[in-house]
Amino acid sequence: MQNITCLASQHNEKQTFNNIQIKDINFDNLLNRDPININTNDCIDLLEDSKIIITGGAGSIGSEIVKQLLNLGINNLHIIDNSENAIYHLRNTLNELYPNHNAKILLHYINDEKKMEVLFKDIQPDYVFHVAAHKHVTVIEHNIYEAININIVGTKIIADLSSKYNVKKFLFVSTDKAVNPANIMGASKRISELYIQHLNTISNTDFIITRFGNVLGSSGSVIPRFIDIINQNKNIPVTHKEITRYFMSIEEAAILVIKAITIGKSGQILLFDMGEPVKIMDLAQKIINLFPEKKILIDIIGLGPGEKLYEELLCKSEEVIHSEEKKIMIFKNKKNSHDFIDKYNELIQHFHNLSYDELKIKFKEIVPEYDTKTYFKG
C-alpha cells in the first residue's frame, strides 16, 4: 500500500470542524465550476397538470427530483421505493418542507410485476421517471442476479407497462458507466438502454434516456465516505493516482432530468454537461483541506472489481445531434443488431438457471463492448 502525505492547506479559513457533515460542503467549490442554471418554464408548462410516477423516488436522486418537481408546483406525484427507511425519511421531509403537498409515497418493489400492473392501471400516469436501480459498482460486481432482477427485469416491467398504459414519455436514468462498460452495473444499465431503444420502435410512448456521472452528496458518492473516514481520524483510500470521474450536484442532476423529459424525444440519449472530469486525488485533497487541524494521508489501494480509470461519454454506435439546450448533449443510437431482442429475451427467461460466469458471457453477447477482463491493480 502506498501512502501519499497531503497536508492541509495553509490558506483555509480559521474555522475548523471536529466533525463535518454533508450540509457543510460547498459542492460548487469542489467542482471548480459555476453551477448549472436551467430555464424550467417549459417544464412547468408540460408537467403541471400531469400524473407522474417516480420509481426509486426515495433515494438520493429520486427524492431530489421529487423536491424539484414540488418546487415547480408539480404536485400529482406517485413515488415508488422499496426502502421503508428511505420512505419514512422522505415522508417526514416532504411534510416539513411542503405541508400542502399531494404526493403519494408507496412501498413497492419494481420487479413485482402484478403489483406494478395494478398501480399503472389505477394511476394511469402521463409521465414516468424511472430512477430505481442498483448503482454501487463494486457491490453489484458480486451480485449479478440482483443487477438483473432490478436493473434489467425491473426496468423492463416499468417500461413495458408505460407502453401498455400509453404513458406520454418514459425517462430512464442511466449512467456514464453504461458506455463501453467494464462492470456488471454498467453492462446491466446498457442492456436496459438497448431494450428501451427497442421499445421506441414498437410503442407510441416516447422513451428517453439520460446519462450522467457521479452525483456529489448522493448515497453512492465518494464524498459521504470521505467525510465519514476523516471523522474517524483515518486515512482516505483512493484507488489510483490518475483515476478521474465526472461529477455534478444532486440539485443539478435532478433539474436536468426534469428538463430532459421536457425536451427529449423518442429514442434520444441525453447527456448532461458535467464539465471536465475531476481527479479523485484532487477531490480528496480538497476534503482534507476542510480539516486544517489534522494531518491526513491518502492511501492508494488499487482499482476495485469493475472499476475503470476514467469514464467515457459516447458509445461507438452513437452519433451526436443538435441540442438547443447548451448544457444537454443529445445522442441518437444506431439500430440494435437484428438478433438483440432474441438474446435479451433469452437472458430474461433463463438467468436464474445460469452461473455467474455464464451470465457474464450472456452480457457480452448482448453488449459486445462490455469488457469482461479482470480489473487491474494501480
Which residues are catalytically annotated? 177
Distance of CA 267 to the CA centre of its chain: 19
Vertex 230: Cα angle to 28 and 185 (nearest 5): 65
Cell of 90: 422522505
Of 31, 176, 194, 55, the closest CA to residue 111 belongs to: 55
Contacts of residue 16, Cβ cutoff 8 Å, sequence gap at least 6: 291, 292, 293
Yes or no: say if 172 and 207 are a contact pair by the CB < 8 Å rule: yes
C-alpha 257/C-alpha 275 separation (Å) is 17
Cell of 270: 441525453
C-alpha 375/C-alpha 305 separation (Å) is 6
The DSSP code sequence of 179-239 is SS--SHHHHHHHHHHHHHHHHHTT-SSEEEEEE--EEETSTTSHHHHHHHHHHTT-PEEES
Of 158, 190, 197, the closest CA to residue 176 belongs to: 190
C-alpha 368/C-alpha 243 separation (Å) is 24
Q: Tell me, what amino acid is at 2? A: Q
